[in-house]
Amino acid sequence: MDVGIGVIGAGVMGSDHARTLTDFTKGATLVAISDVDPDRAAAVGTTTQAKRVHPNGLALIEDPHVNAILIASPDSTHEELVLACLSAGKPVLCEKPLAPTTDGCLRIVAAEIATGKRLVQVGFMRRFDSGYIAMRSALRSGRFGVPLLMHCIHRNAIAPPWFDSGMLISNSAVHEIDVARWLLDDEFVSVTVFKCAAPSSGDLVDPQFIVLESRQGVLVDIEVFVNARYGYDVRAELVCEAGTVTLAPQPAVRLRCSGQETSGFADDWRAHFGAAYKTQLKSWVDSIRSGVPFGASAWDGYAATATAGACIEALRSSNTTAIQLQPRPEFYGPMR
């Protein structure tokens, strides 16, 4: 029997996920969609399998045809919706952030532990990107020795007008925070955030240069620049004792014509990480069917939000800021 999926949120990400579930995800049927804007939900319903249209996320979670829920509604709604999924005992894949506050994330962690089952996955899709997966296996092979540094670049062509300086961290650099934790199998203990001398976009501090230190002493720097204009560009390099491991440049195609060599950039993350999004959904459905959890857990969602919060504090104070995480509950097992 296919898993009946309901998607909450019919905006950019929700409608993309609805299409991927309809066109590419074996073992799942998209049965329902909801959005605060009923016309927008109905429009997604006409082009995908989602024939049951609900007026809000809570109604969708209660729908008996819905066995599992994907949350792609605004960040401020995540906590209430994830908690409702847990009360209903239904698996949930929540777009990042798990919740905008660390307390909210911890309430979700406590509620999940109380169910006794791993029901929550957070949509950190880079863990499903073939490039990052290859970096992780290279590091695990032992050939490169211990990691010393990681350099990351995260550039968007243009940020929406409502982006504020904290969102460069909580919305964008949070992906590097998660993927670096996952690659290094480590947590961060302190952070410093540097601003450039000449801010380019009014009050927005853009770009920012974030330097994190891990428990094992690895330094991770992240240049995050959300109005870089030329395109979406993500890079990463691990510097280890005996060599380096670098994410291959994207896209793989180079064009030579009229005396010039060129290569293009994706417009945004949906194109750049398109394959990772598909793999993430497939893996989520497989994990629901097998009962074996995979991907970023609620604890990872908490650690990412708490670390991003400390980065934002470091940006505001211009001081090196300590990152204090709660002890990892046994329920979540070792970092994987």
Q: Which is nearer to ligand ISE, 63 or 176 (CB)?
A: 176
Q: What letter does residue 216 receive in the DSSP assignment?
A: T
Q: Which is nearer to ligand ISE, 231 or 329 (CB)?
A: 231
Rounded CA separation 56/160 (Å): 25
**Which region, judged by CB under 6 A, interacts with ligand ISE, from 133-141, 171-179, 294-302, 316-324?**
171-179
Give kind and range of the element (H or E) at residue 212.
strand 208-214
Within 268-287, the residues that bind ligand ISE by CB under 6 A are 269
297 binds ligand ISE (CB under 6 A): no
78 binds ligand ISE (CB under 6 A): no
20 binds ligand ISE (CB under 6 A): no
CB of 229 to ligand ISE, least distance (A): 14
91 half-sphere exposure, CB direction, 13 A CA radius: 22
Rounded CA separation 2/29 (Å): 6
172 binds ligand ISE (CB under 6 A): yes
Strand-pairing partners, residue 240, are 147, 243
Peptide bond into 160 cis (omega under 30): no
Of 65, 104, 105, 67, residue with least CA distance to 85: 67
Please pick, from the candidates 171, 250, 287, 305, the single residue that binds ligand ISE as defined by CB under 6 A. 171
Contact 311, 173 (CB under 8 A): yes
CB of 281 to ligand ISE, least distance (A): 15
Q: What share of the chain is helix, strand, coil (3-state, %, to 5)?
A: 40, 25, 35
Residues contacting ligand ISE: total by CB under 6 A: 5
Q: Which is nearer to ligand ISE, 192 or 280 (CB)?
A: 280
175 binds ligand ISE (CB under 6 A): yes
Which residues make up the interface to ligand ISE (CB under 6 A)? 156, 171-172, 175, 269
